Chain A
Amino acid sequence: MKDPELTENLVARFLNGECSESELNELLAWAMQSNQHQKDLLDIKDIWDASLPDKQNTQNQLLYFYKSRYEKSTRAYLLFLRSVASIAALLLIGLLIRLTIYSNDPVNPANLQVFTVPLGSRSNVLLSDGTEVNLNSGSKLSYSNNFSKENRIVSLTGEAFFHVKSDSEHPFTVQTNDFDIRVNGTQFNVCSYREDIFSTATLSEGKINLKLNHSDRTQDVKPGEKFILDRKSKNFTLNTADVRQETAWKDGEFIFKNISFPDLIKRLERWYDVKLVVDDPRLIKYNYSGRFKNQETIWQVLDALKLTSPIDYKKTTFREFQLSYKVKLIN
């Protein structure tokens, strides 16, 4: 390596952990050439390492330390048995209290299978009856342990796309906070986040029957229709919908047509696990249309927004951005 710039680039790649095995070999050879090289490399890496922000919770580590010490010492000394016994007694009392409190609960949580998808990611679940479920960011799917081909009931908060295995004898039921959906074999999208104003269901194939909670009203939904429920007033509408747009998220795409700004913000926050703070009411009145892929970073999305609308953004903390209104000068 004669060119010093090549070495510089190599070192920079090494620091960020982006070197291939052969590049590492090259770097090692360079470092072994002289003590000065070695010192240069290690001093630079030292600054790099020391500038890493501290993320550890030391207090928790200390607790962990004491806990592991305690566990070790209880194994070693019989003397500790007495204190263990008293702690066990306390735990037992606590457990009994807990049991009495929760015994009214008809659903025993121990018999529940729960899938939770954190913000910023998506996931697939294949149920034992052959039904496929795509789960969007921040969603939770649960079903009881005796879920089977005959007993097909699941609960959902958040957004999911169901591809239900067809079985006309045994209907498949999706329970949400606002309505139950009963189907035989279809494909549909349900979006029912706790914090949203609307809960929706969009059908792509087959037929679904929707029953509102806390009332006897039912509604059939046909392919290409979107059922929109105002969660507060419990009023609903049926619109024709672009099914592809509604379900694009499961293929890692985000297509939106004429959605309101708060809606857009909420989706981006879930999708990227970030917090977007909007402090200017002027931004709220805009509607947005657009399309992008999930591989794009939040930076790229915000940059695109910045280019096409009077928005500027600024990073405030680790996962938080502040959006502000910026008058666009038209030349």
Chain B
Amino acid sequence: MTMTDFDTYFLKYHPILLLFTRKFIEDEQQALDLVQEVFIKFWEKGVVSQNEGQVKSFLFTSVKNNCLNYLKHQKVVRKFEQQFALRLKELEASYYLSGEKSLIEQEAMKKIEVAIDSLGDIYKEVIFLSRIEELKNSEIAEKLHIPVRTVETMIFRALSLLKEKISSKTILILINLNQLKK
């Protein structure tokens, strides 16, 4: 592996690996460290006269393992506090380790952006305020003059709609492929 190859992989996968890590690790610095470790391993093992598919799967698998190990360790360190949060995160990390692919791993973020754009205005605004503005649900409620409960319901509905839109698109692509085969 030359340095340029490494740079290319780093520039391409570091942002999405970090995004993926942040699914389970709230602390940004910690997440950065975990991703860094994976790239060190990648560098040292010289995994990479292999093709990009194998590289990607190495990177993601290592990151998932690192996260899960970190969470398990945290559970021991923090004996009582945040146990439920940690267990939920652990559940999530195991889910992706067992072969489920996250939208991030599928590099489907662009698709989500398009899907968000196609939502109704009010849903779009709620998603914008919470994701881009990083407002709390209560702050959104105040801003839009609606009850917090309604904001929460809207967030859930908006995400459910996105889920449908994204999965139906995938299905659409599959159907098209099948038709092509015929």
Contacts and interface: CB of A to CB of B under 8 A. Distances in A.
B85 A46 contact: no
A27 B88 contact: yes
Interface stretch (A51-59, A97-105, A229-237): A51-59
A46 B132 CA distance: 16
A42 B103 CA distance: 11
B137 A18 contact: yes
Nearest to A50: B103
Given A46-B104, A49-B20, A58-B11, 12 more contacts: A8-B157, A13-B152, A16-B130, A16-B137, A18-B136, A25-B84, A27-B88, A49-B103, A52-B19, A53-B132, A58-B14, A297-B139
Measured as residues with beta carbon below 8 angstroms from the partner, the interface class of chain A is 35 or more
B46 interface: no
Given A21-B82, A56-B15, A58-B11, A47 B103 contact: yes
Contacts of B100: 42
3 nearest A-B residue pairs (beta carbon): A12-B152, A24-B84, A8-B156
Contacts of A56: 14-15, 18
A24 B137 contact: no
Contact of A44 (B95, B149, B163): B163
Contact of B19 (A8, A9, A54): A54
Judged by DSSP, the binding face of A is helix
A45 interface: yes
A52 B149 CA distance: 22
Interface string A18-50: 100100110110011000001000111111111
A62 interface: yes
Interface residues of B, number: 55
Interface of A: 5, 8-9, 11-18, 21, 24-25, 27-28, 31-32, 38, 42-54, 56, 58-59, 61-62, 64-65, 68-69, 297, 299-300, 318
B69 to A, nearest CB: 20
A139 to B, nearest CB: 26
Interface in B31-85: 32, 36, 39-40, 43, 82, 84-85
Contacts of B14: 56, 58, 61-62
